[in-house]
């Protein structure tokens, strides 16, 4: 039987089904209690007052109510109340009036101590009274009816009747609480009972089994009662430790929210329920068609056929950690968790995936509009000003929504597509976005590749190739650009175009970027140790600029290897820098403050204004290869390239041409005044060992100091 904590502090609206249910159960409990006490005699009352066993039982029942065994995997304080053993023992030994009175006193005491609402205390007391009354009825039918004045001690022949009474007690109690949970969570009774039924049966088999032993001990002497508590306490402590460990495995330690593991379990349950509802609805549509027109599907049925998964990411959370410290950031995450759990609908699940990423599961949702309403309510709750450590600031979050079966058939794909939608919301600063295939370049084949890419990072299949940038004036090396390649075990060496478009829409991009930065810095340090002081450039995606931890990663990497900031260059495409939200530009500004040289890549393909371009903290402009490649064949492209070179020179920046593949193009660029170039004419992308040999042959080393 469930702990009545499972009903939580429900405040049912007057006239609602839950309110009516509460009233009916409470009235029935009062009626059963009144009937039980009406049969008490003066002798019963005298025996009740004079027997110390009853007072000891009362204390034990109160303690049992205060110390339940928590249900594993629960997000609430669901569990088995250890008062079960003592209340059932009181029922066997002295009858329903004693058991109901002691249990009611325990419920009221526990309710007042925990600050529970009066309606909940009344429901819990009535729930126990009805369950004990049902068990008493079974015992009465078996001829085993005890009173305080005429106590009953069972023997071996009475065990079947006791087992049946215990089963009825369990079923009645579990059904009463499960019905309240089902009405509150808006799920079926079967689903509410199924959540932890196996655990409840196992635990209460042990708890109810101890009751007859407790009765025998009470009959011998009140002194024996405390002795039986020793094995009981051992069982309780072991069960509590096991449950606590399982709870820790399924919940986030900081916020107490479910973690990814529990989210997967709950999502699979919700998807199975939605699939079942769809099948029932389809069968219903087929069944009546032979005898009458199919009825219009009810809204509730439509709602049950969809489930929603939200991915929520806090904007600029790292700034809070950097400004106020990690302890304050942890308190902020706890506050966010509290606001989210109190803003979702009954039955919805809030989980923390890690860092400042949260997920919200909607086991049932009517349609996209309803999902947007829930997401808007979540953002509004988070948007309330926060005051911590004497400072007040606002929280913002981006929410991505994916629906089953509209967008994905399983958890992994739902999460991936919610992540795509979240990134679109963050990129467009819209706050909330629903997954749209038009904004997702993924296909089934590429999704398979995404799974391979997750494993590729751990298996070190991603590696960097290096291509030289050469001065057009004197042929000296300007730098090396690090180009990512994936050495796929089946498909061979893959260029970034084959996989980065997938990664940029997922959380994998952050891991890939950190891998690239670390690998580039490690190789740069190796070259500098050989006195090959070359600058290495790495490319940054739009998602990288939304990662406020990028600057910290680069700074720590440089410091760990003893490299100056100028040893690393960051290349950012023109489109990203012109179109990203303001806080992406903030990341660029922080990188510039750190002293990291910045290069504006693919110039000419975006829509840069001269005013904006002049304000950008870049030292180099790279002319896109689409113009450079047609330089000799197209007069228009030649005019464009010359104009870009003149503009870059006027701004005091360095111009670099990409995609130079022949001597004629290199000569034309040199005549135009372009500073540097890269392409197959100067060197193809090379792996680290080949690039090292190339550098040894082409880089002028500093002369050795005189002895």
CA atoms of 475 and 422, how far apart (whole Å): 46
Residue 585's pLDDT is 63
- Domain 260-281+301-440 shares a fold with domain 446-693: no
Give the domain ranges of the chain. Answer: 4-250, 260-281+301-440, 446-693
Residues 6+ apart with CB under 8 A from 165: 91, 135, 136, 138, 139, 142
Task: Report which DSSP code applies to 429.
Answer: T
Residue 419's pLDDT is 87
Exposed, middle or buried, 475 (CB in 10 Å: 0-12/13-18/19+)?
exposed
Residue 593's pLDDT is 85
- Which residue in 414, 309, 311 sits closest to 356, CA to CA? 311
User: Mean pLDDT per 10-residue run, the chain (707 residues)?
Assistant: 42 76 91 85 74 75 71 47 82 87 87 83 91 91 80 84 90 88 75 69 76 80 70 67 72 86 88 74 53 43 69 76 69 87 84 88 87 88 76 79 88 87 81 82 64 82 94 91 92 85 73 90 94 91 72 90 92 63 64 86 59 72 86 82 89 90 92 93 92 87 44
Residue 286's pLDDT is 54
Residue 16's pLDDT is 81
Residues 6+ apart with CB under 8 A from 423: 400, 505, 506, 543
Phi/psi at 617 (5° precision): -85, 60
Could you name the CATH architecture of 446-693?
A: Alpha-Beta Barrel (3.20)
CA atoms of 484 and 692, how far apart (whole Å): 17
Collapsing DSSP states into helix, strand and coil, what is residue 469? strand
User: How many helices and strands (H and E) does the chain possess?
Assistant: 28, 18
CATH number of 260-281+301-440: 3.30.70.270
Residue 295's pLDDT is 44
pLDDT digits 0-9 by tens, 31-61: 998 888 887 777 877 777 767 777 777 787 8
- Which residue in 144, 129, 150 sits closest to 212, CA to CA? 144
Collapsing DSSP states into helix, strand and coil, what is residue 499? coil
């Amino acid at each position: 039987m469930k702990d009545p904590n499972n009903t939580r502090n429900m405040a049912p609206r007057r006239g609602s089904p839950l309110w009516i249910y509460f009233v009916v159960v409470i009235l029935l409990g009062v009626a059963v209690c009144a009937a039980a006490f009406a049969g008490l005699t003066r002798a019963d009352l005298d025996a009740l007052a004079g027997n110390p066993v009853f007072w000891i039982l009362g204390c034990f029942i109160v303690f049992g109510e205060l110390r339940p065994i928590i249900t594993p995997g629960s997000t609430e304080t669901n569990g088995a109340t250890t008062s079960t053993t003592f209340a059932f023992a009181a029922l066997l030994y002295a009858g329903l009036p004693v058991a109901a009175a002691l249990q009611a006193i325990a419920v009221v005491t526990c309710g007042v101590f925990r600050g529970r609402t009066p309606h909940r205390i009344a429901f819990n007391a009535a729930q126990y009274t009805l369950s004990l009354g049902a068990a008493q009825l079974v015992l009465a039918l078996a001829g085993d009816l005890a009173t305080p004045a005429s106590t009953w001690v069972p023997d071996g022949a009475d065990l079947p009747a006791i087992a049946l009474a215990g089963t009825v007690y369990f079923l009645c109690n579990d059904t009463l609480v499960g019905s309240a949970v089902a009405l509150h969570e808006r799920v079926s009774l079967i689903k509410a009972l199924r959540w932890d039924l196996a655990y409840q049966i196992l635990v209460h088999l042990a708890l109810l089994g101890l009751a007859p032993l407790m009765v025998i001990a009470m009959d011998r002497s009140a002194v024996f009662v405390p002795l039986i508590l020793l094995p009981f306490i051992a069982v309780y402590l072991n069960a509590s430790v096991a449950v606590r460990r399982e709870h820790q495995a399924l919940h986030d330690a900081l916020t107490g929210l479910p973690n990814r593991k529990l989210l997967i379990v709950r999502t699979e349950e919700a998807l199975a329920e939605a699939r079942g509802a769809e099948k029932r609805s389809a069968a219903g549509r087929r069944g009546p068609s032979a005898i009458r027109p199919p009825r219009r599907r009810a809204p509730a049925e439509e709602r049950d056929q969809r489930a929603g998964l939200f991915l929520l990411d806090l904007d600029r959370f790292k700034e809070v950690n950097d400004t106020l410290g990690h302890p304050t950031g942890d308190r902020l995450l706890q506050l966010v968790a509290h606001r989210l759990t109190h803003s979702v609908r009954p039955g919805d699940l809030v989980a923390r995936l890690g860092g400042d990423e949260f997920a919200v599961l909607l086991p049932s949702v009517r349609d996209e509009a309803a999902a947007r309403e829930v997401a808007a309510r979540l953002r509004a709750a988070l948007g309330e000003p926060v005051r911590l450590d004497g400072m007040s600031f606002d929280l913002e979050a981006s929410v991505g929504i994916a629906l089953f079966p509209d967008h994905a058939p399983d958890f992994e794909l739902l999460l991936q597509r919610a992540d795509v939608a979240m990134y679109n919301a963050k990129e467009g600063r819209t706050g909330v976005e629903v997954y749209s295939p038009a904004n997702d370049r993924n296909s089934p084949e590429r999704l398979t590749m995404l799974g391979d890419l997750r494993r590729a990072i751990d298996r070190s299949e991603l590696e960097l190739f290096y291509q030289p940038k050469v001065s057009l004036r004197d042929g000296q090396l300007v730098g090396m650009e690090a180009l990512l390649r994936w050495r796929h075990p089946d498909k061979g060496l893959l260029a970034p175009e084959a996989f980065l478009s997938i990664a940029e829409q997922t959380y994998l991009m952050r891991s890939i970027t950190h891998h690239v930065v670390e690998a580039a810095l490690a190789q740069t340090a190796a070259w500098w140790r050989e006195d090959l002081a070359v600058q290495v450039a790495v490319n940054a995606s739009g998602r990288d600029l939304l990662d406020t931890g990028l600057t910290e990663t680069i700074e720590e990497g440089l410091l760990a290897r003893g490299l100056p900031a100028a040893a690393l260059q960051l290349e950012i495409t023109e489109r990203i820098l012109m179109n990203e939200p303001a806080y992406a530009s903030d990341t660029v500004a922080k990188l510039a403050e750190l002293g990291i040289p910045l290069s504006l890549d693919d110039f000419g393909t975006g829509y840069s204004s001269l005013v904006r371009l002049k304000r950008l903290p870049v030292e180099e402009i790279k002319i896109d290869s689409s113009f450079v490649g047609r330089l000799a064949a197209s007069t228009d492209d030649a005019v464009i390239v010359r104009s870009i070179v003149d503009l870059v020179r006027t701004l005091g920046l360095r111009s670099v041409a990409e995609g130079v593949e022949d001597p004629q193009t290199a000569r034309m660029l040199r005549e135009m005044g372009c500073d540097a170039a890269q392409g197959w004419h100067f060197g193809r992308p090379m792996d680290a060992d080949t690039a090292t040999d190339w550098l040894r042959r082409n880089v002028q080393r500093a002369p050795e100091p005189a002895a």
